[in-house]
Amino acid sequence: MPKYTFELRDGSDGIGDGSGVDLPDRGCAFEFAQGIARELMSGREAQTRFWRLDVYENDRERVFEIPFVSLDHTLDYCDPQWRALITESCERFRSLKEAEHAARRTISEARALVARSRGKPYLATEAGRKTIRD
């Protein structure tokens, strides 16, 4: 039975579920992933509709991408054209946030590298992650 793992793209580095779930086939995996997305979004649709859940099969191939905006029932009143516009905006917004997050990490890393080269103190880890990536 294939194993499916999930990565939440929320504008940061991405949050992974390493252990995964064994499911019979891709159809089941798709429904399961939709269920996860709905649970993650429930109660805060406006704040999370730019998120995306990526689904991987056997830790190798990305088989699905589930944009949360596609499951956002609070947008059901929108006509298709308006909804398409919101969907595209969410995709761009998430990409922008991920780029911003990556830039901030790079700045932190650069500062730490400079400080280390000068023998000065620097923040080695932040929230459990090494500032200077290996």
Partner 1 sequence: MLAHQPQTNANVFLEALSAPDLELLRTHLAAFELRPGDCLHHFGDTVENVVFPRSGLVVRTLPLGEDAGAFMSFVGRDGVVGGFAAVGGAPANCDAHVLVSGHASRMPASSFRHLLDQSPGIRRLAARLDSAMLVDAQQTALCNAVHPVEDRICRLLLEFQDRIDLTRVTLTQAALAQMLGVRRTTVTLLVGRLEAAGIIVCGRGAIEIISRRELERHSCECYGQVKNYARRLFPRAAEGIVATATGSGERLGRITG
Strand partners, 62: 56
Q: How far is the CB of 82 from partner 1 (least distance, A)?
A: 25
Spacing of C-alpha 113 from chain mean position = 27
Show the tokens assigned to 55: 């689904």
Q: How far is the CB of 103 from partner 1 (least distance, A)?
A: 17
Among 2, 17, 28, 86, binds partner 1 (CB under 8 A): 17
Site string for partner 1, 50-89 (x = CB under 8 A): ----------------------------------------
- Give the number of other CB atoms < 10 A from CB of residue 72: 21
Please report whether residue 24 would count as binding partner 1 according to CB under 8 A.
no
Dump the DSSP string for 2-39. Answer: -EEEEEEESSSS-EEEEEEEE-SSHHHHHHHHHHHHHH
Q: Which residues bind partner 1 (CB under 8 A)?
A: 6, 8, 10, 12-13, 15-17, 19, 21, 32, 35-36, 39-40, 42-44, 115, 119-129
